[in-house]
Amino acid sequence: MTRVRPTDAQYERILEANAHRCCVCKRRCVGLHLHHIDGTNANTVDPNLAVLCVEDHDRHHRPDKYAPKPNHTELSASKLRDFKIDWERFVVEARSPEPRVLATLSAYGTVEVIHSLQLVMQWPDERIAMKQSYHLLDGNLDRLTDEVFADLASIGPNVIMTVISEPVAVEHCPCCGTGYSRKLKSAVVARLTDPGWETESSASIYINPAQPSLAILISLRGEQMMQGHLHLCEGRYLHYHSESIDDRVPVKRQPSVRTQASQIVATVLHEWKPTMVFIGTGNPDKPQMIGDLALPKCWEGH
């Protein structure tokens, strides 16, 4: 069959649909090819054309010439189709007016000396769509920061970016060491990106009437987002536990233990910002609703 080359308009359209990046490694500003996924050069239609950098294009055709590479060791036709579909779908979502995807920027090194940065873009269910590293050897911190924002803007200017304030040890630098990428839990992504959070989120707090303990349940449209528990441990610690947090806070002399426990609950509510808060006590199967966080005296007697 006669080879059919992509038209200039088609080439630009597909590049734009991929944010001018290789759909496998997500790099930009590198040589990019349009690859016929099914191997038929005459089948030059958009669904059959994948944007590949020179390296990944060659890796597909000559897999035995490359050492295994993390994250995409297999570049079969089926795998390339998956990369294309997933990445183009992510770009569409990232460019929507209210994207449901999120970006996280992490630093590696110390507060005094930042060794490298990494931008991670993820789906709400915690699947990572793109990881991009920025090394100090490539420029100073100001230049790297500019590159981060340029990359984010090229993919989705409305995507919310969170910045992890505490750097990771340099030995976990993705390009130099063991490689450690930070991403956010799906519940946190929902809190930051779901427009319904401001009107449809809720917190349910159950206070145990007989023991110094309580449970906090954060929900969105009836779906559980986070569950946490707080109890007085050994009479010396206020122990708060959730999926991502496990804190034992020493009890102070002042103010009262109940006040200190209430402050922890207030911090959790401030972080999650639920629209509605329901507080109950008594029978856990049919709790009695109360108007405020009135903890029983057993919190002081242990």
Indicate which CATH number applies to the domain containing 151: 3.30.420
79: in domain: yes
How many folded domains does the chain comprise?
3
203: in domain: yes
Q: For position 246, what pLDDT does the model report?
A: 81
3: in domain: no
Q: List the pLDDT tens digit at each of the 302 positions of the chain.
A: 688 899 999 999 999 999 999 999 998 877 899 999 998 989 999 999 999 998 888 888 776 665 555 444 578 899 999 999 999 999 999 999 999 999 999 888 887 778 888 999 999 988 999 998 888 766 678 888 899 999 999 999 999 999 887 887 766 676 665 555 566 778 888 888 888 999 999 999 999 999 999 999 999 998 999 999 999 988 888 999 888 778 888 899 889 999 999 999 999 998 899 999 999 999 988 999 998 999 999 998 65
110: in domain: yes
227: in domain: yes
Given 45, 72, 94, which residue is the final one in a domain?
Answer: 94
* 46 shares a domain with 12: yes
* pTM of the full structure: 0.69
* 216 shares a domain with 157: no
* 147 shares a domain with 87: no
* 80 shares a domain with 16: yes
Q: For position 108, what pLDDT does the model report?
A: 85
For 273, residues 6+ apart whose C-beta sits below 8 A from its C-beta are 191, 197, 201
Domain of residue 200: give its range: 196-299
Q: For position 72, what pLDDT does the model report?
A: 47
